[in-house]
A and B are shown apart, each in its own frame.
Chain A
């Protein structure tokens, strides 16, 4: 009997190891470990043994059974692993085939630039203001110190809706200064982006409709040094830390002193090149201290309050930001242009 067990063990282990499929293995399990299997058959002979022989033989038989069961499980695991490996091989894909397309839309580059500017000023506690594009000339001009006779009021420069030149398409976002002064409590910190209109024929740098962002602060003790500091902070965020600026005297009817701010040419670093027309600087925006008379007209006492304002052209900012050479691209909205941003 001992020999029989040893034989079963040897044969079964060999058979398990060489089983090629789960089915083969199952048949071997039945053959050796099943109710009518060989091991069971041997165990049935236990009754013939003496009581002294039984425990030893029993232990041996159990040992063989558990060895067979262990081997069976190992063989089964091995087969499963092989089958899995095969399946994974079969399921392999060509990873270079493009993914299933997820169509995402694109933000217009000009609004990307606008968002950047808005975020900078919101971070400094500014409110974003929206206002009418069809505007009263009194807001666009009179209350901004551009009196009757100012050249920008000419019909050759500005679009009008009535013969009296009373209602017009705003030619700048500056009327938002007046609207803010009229409606908001002091102190005021606003930016007002929007469309503006001037009678320019369409070309690579002109469009009858374009966008500006107006900025204005009114508070006690606001100085021109504050204006410079704020604008420099904006430029550094837009164009990178250390971007050089310079301020030049200029004239706007509604600010005094007035200035224009240039940024150092990004192309040549100030040496002079075709991009900056040899000047080394590129004009970015106009600004100044709010004219005392403008404050007075809005009922704000210039002896107590002072403020600054600036206006920046958005198209030009976006064009510089993304190196867009022709303004017309902005309004053509060709998909091949839009999807680059």
Chain B
């Protein structure tokens, strides 16, 4: 919400500078997003009147102008613009002037002609044609300015003569007297020859760049002076006939006036972020109320006064029906007849512009002006097109069509509220008017609508059509139904002030819902108890009264109609707090029962897993919980795999983030791939990420956590990843850990089938790790081996061993025996270890693999596997014989069970 401080000052005089104003308003609850001094960058620019002008003797395009700038003596300024004429009022940047963008103007000389300043264009003043539509420039093709693209083949001869036929009915003519008709139109006297006979005529044109003695192309049939477009000429052929030039003012001003006052750039605009509970602050009056309370300054309220007396009787002209009273709590309307559509006056246009609204014409501008001032959206219909003089506020018929003011056709449903005449819709209630009843140049009679519609209905309607307008944004927050009448009166008052028409006496006011004011009881003790303050009851009274609350001696508080957000004691407490000052509330620490804080066992495990991963060299990542449905194909999951069943977001940002992941693997692979593509050499990453399976309670997800690890680089291989997994399991004291290769029953779709393993704690599967399948890695554009692990957090939580209990250190020495056995290649180290443990007779304490050897002397398809065995008794020193007996038993078992023989 933008606020013009000039407009605000009409209601309440606040002289604080922008910074202080912004801070005070922010701290009382109207958050200021920024402030702007519209003319901050402009100084020493004044209005000048061109008293005379002559072509520069040494230039083919410059003019020397003499201007009255209100200083007595005229000043001489050289300009290259062709759209100025004697008598024009123009912005003059005097020597030393500053312009937007930091430009400064100095005295200068143009080919020996002194120039005491510069004439300014709209752009040079930081404005554009939206600010001053009449500042748009249309250029005629001035033949003196013709520069052929190919000098050898000009399309217009150099020594062109009057009456020369350019093409068709277009002839060369000379301009005689050029007279302003006002409104940016000109009457130009033209002379040319037909068959050697001089002919003369006078034509009207909107081209501003024609001066006496100029040669122009005249279309004798259409009676128009040709523009570049008419001649199908390129800009470079007429380098000075451009749609740009000096801003010729059509304002009520005189030489010497400060340009900022003329263009409305002497205003300061404050931009507010208004919270949705305060639609009343989306208006000058609402903010004036807040400013008044903030700065403790009185508001000068204005009650609109309408003289009326327009022809006709309102009740006979207009009838309003509201068949859906719930959706239209109040509908207020008045009529204006014999309307004269014209631009609105400068002061009104300035205020609209300052608040970011484009001026259109007096009637439309009045509706916008009232919306800004009162916060009440208004609409104006052309009465001609309200058939039957009847306005019906009803639900749209299914499939009913309406073209809105923006030219878009909509097909409506019964959820939309329309304003209709007796036969058809003429507007989308609270959103936008219909094109069929638009105010146009010849509109004679106007209906002003000032209504209150149901917020939810408007919001849903606007959302369904994808057209949230300023009006709908206001309605959807719920407006004050008491505001419609003063607003429509204000609009009629402005009509009379602008002389824009005759207001018919009377008001149509359908009041379907009589709002009952909220009455609360002021409870100072409760308010102080909630805030932790000691604000006096007196201060509370003052604050609430400043805001328009009515307080009686019995402490009953009547909430003003525009404060629908105030419903209970806590709301009153906020009002008190806002103006007592949030920063004047003391700061205390809580009393009351102490509570036991801390981490739950699961949270402690989360932290421990993080620490373990980091001490293994893995760094933490954060990835999105949503993925693309194509990810499951990318990681090689076959069609129909139940885990592919994912929660689907119905309104995702894009396909890539449209389903909730049931695996963390794609997220990890994405990040590994990104790092690989960024040429990061060695990467080890982990995330304790959530996965989301459908089928939870209440239609929610079953959300579980996965310890996801991923790595690549020179030091990485299967065993490096296994080492990290083993380290983690060891730290958690997981018992009975086993690793099994994937098989038909437990396939590993995303992993290299020969280089991955399922991880078990007894009969519980904790997860999987290994090298990513080369095809999957290729799907991520990586050809180096990637390694990942996925361990279920819940399973780790269950498998986590008990707290350690001290075991006495061994008192007797151990005996170490190394054995090497030869076995078939297919026999795993795990199987050999199992056999060793099985064969031992109670003395074996440790088995450590230390070598695997393959070679000719062993034989094809065989390998030699060497273990170091540690044997020890807890109650005595072992003898060599005892150890040998155990080793022999181990060797026997290896031989009998696996055919592994001592090498």
Residues in A lying within 8 Å of B, measured CB to CB: 103-108, 110-111, 121-128, 130, 132-136, 148-151, 154-156, 159-163, 166-167, 169, 187-189, 195, 197, 199, 201, 208-209, 217, 219-226, 228-230, 232-233, 246-251, 256-259, 277, 289, 291-293, 306, 330-336, 338-339
Contacts and interface: CB of A to CB of B under 8 A. Distances in A.
B597 A121 contact: yes
B533 interface: yes
Contacts of B590: 217, 219, 222, 226, 229-230
Nearest to B35: A278
Contacts of B614: 104-107
A225 B587 contact: yes
B620 A187 contact: no
Contacts of B592: 187, 219-222
Contact of B624 (A135, A149, A187, A331): A331
Contact of A225 (B573, B586, B610): B586
A155 B276 CA distance: 18
Contacts of B587: 225, 228-229, 232
Nearest to A224: B531
A194 to B, nearest CB: 9
A248 B582 contact: yes
A147 to B, nearest CB: 9
Contacts of B675: 333-335
Contact of A248 (B26, B600, B701): B26
B589 A233 contact: yes
B431 to A, nearest CB: 16
A338 B621 contact: yes
A306 B616 CA distance: 47
Given A128-B598, A208-B657, A224-B530, 13 more contacts: A107-B614, A123-B597, A126-B597, A133-B625, A134-B660, A167-B699, A209-B625, A222-B590, A226-B590, A246-B27, A247-B583, A249-B29, A336-B680
Interface in B578-619: 578, 582-583, 585-600, 602-603, 610, 613-619
Given A125-B595, A226-B589, A134 B680 contact: no
A223 B701 CA distance: 37
Given A333-B671, A334-B678, A104 B649 contact: no
Given A127-B595, A229-B587, A289 B530 contact: yes
Given A223-B532, A226-B590, A229-B589, A289 B570 contact: yes
A199 B653 contact: yes
B758 interface: no
Contact of A249 (B530, B574, B593): B574
Given A133-B690, A229-B588, A250 B699 contact: no
B696 interface: yes
Contacts of A107: 610, 614, 619-620
Contacts of A103: 616-617, 684
Contact of B277 (A229, A246, A251): A251
Contacts of B648: 161
Contacts of A106: 614, 619-620
A201 B656 CA distance: 12
A130 B674 CA distance: 30
Nearest to B463: A154
Contact of B650 (A111, A162, A201): A162
Contact of B620 (A111, A257, A334): A111
B455 to A, nearest CB: 7
Interface in B262-312: 275-278
17 contacts: A104-B617, A105-B618, A107-B619, A128-B598, A134-B647, A149-B455, A150-B276, A189-B597, A219-B592, A226-B532, A256-B568, A257-B531, A289-B570, A306-B529, A331-B624, A335-B675, A335-B685
B529 A223 contact: yes
B365 interface: no
Contacts of B624: 208-209, 331
B129 interface: no
Contacts of A334: 674-675, 678, 680
B834 interface: no
B516 interface: no
Interface of B: 26-29, 31, 34, 275-278, 455-456, 459-460, 463, 476, 529-533, 568-571, 573-574, 577-578, 582-583, 585-600, 602-603, 610, 613-626, 647-653, 657, 660, 671, 674-675, 678, 680, 683-686, 690, 692, 696, 698-701, 703
A232 B610 CA distance: 30
A134 B696 contact: yes
A5 B594 CA distance: 93
A154 to B, nearest CB: 6
B410 to A, nearest CB: 18
Given A136-B698, A159-B652, A225-B531, A105 B593 contact: no
B700 A134 contact: yes
B600 to A, nearest CB: 7
A98 B700 CA distance: 53
A20 B617 CA distance: 53
A128 B599 contact: yes
Contacts of A220: 592
A108 B621 contact: yes
B621 A333 contact: yes
A188 B278 CA distance: 32
B531 A250 contact: no
A178 B618 CA distance: 36
Contacts of B685: 333, 335, 338
Nearest to A200: B653
Given A247-B583, A333-B675, A338-B621, A128 B603 contact: yes
B687 to A, nearest CB: 9
A122 B647 CA distance: 34
A124 B590 CA distance: 10
B275 to A, nearest CB: 4
A331 B622 CA distance: 6
A247 B585 contact: yes
Contacts of B619: 105-108, 335, 338-339
B581 to A, nearest CB: 9
A223 B531 contact: yes
Lowest 8 A-B CB distances belong to which pairs? A225-B532, A223-B532, A103-B617, A249-B29, A105-B614, A257-B574, A251-B275, A134-B701
A105 B613 contact: yes
A104 B619 CA distance: 8
A219 B28 CA distance: 28
A103 B692 CA distance: 32
Contacts of B616: 103, 105
A209 B623 CA distance: 9
Contact of A209 (B570, B626, B699): B626
Contacts of A289: 530, 570, 573
A65 B648 CA distance: 101
A119 to B, nearest CB: 10
B530 A105 contact: no
Contacts of A225: 531-533, 585-588
A233 B570 CA distance: 25
A220 B650 CA distance: 43
A35 B472 CA distance: 122
Contacts of B582: 246-249, 259
Contact of B700 (A122, A135, A228): A135
A219 B529 CA distance: 13
A292 B657 contact: no
A250 B652 CA distance: 30
Nearest to A335: B680
B28 to A, nearest CB: 7
B661 to A, nearest CB: 11
Q: By CB atoms of chain A within 10 A, which of B278, B683, B700 has the most?
A: B700
B465 to A, nearest CB: 13
B595 A189 contact: yes
Contact of B599 (A122, A228, A229): A122
B650 A134 contact: no
Contacts of A226: 532, 588-590
A230 B700 contact: no
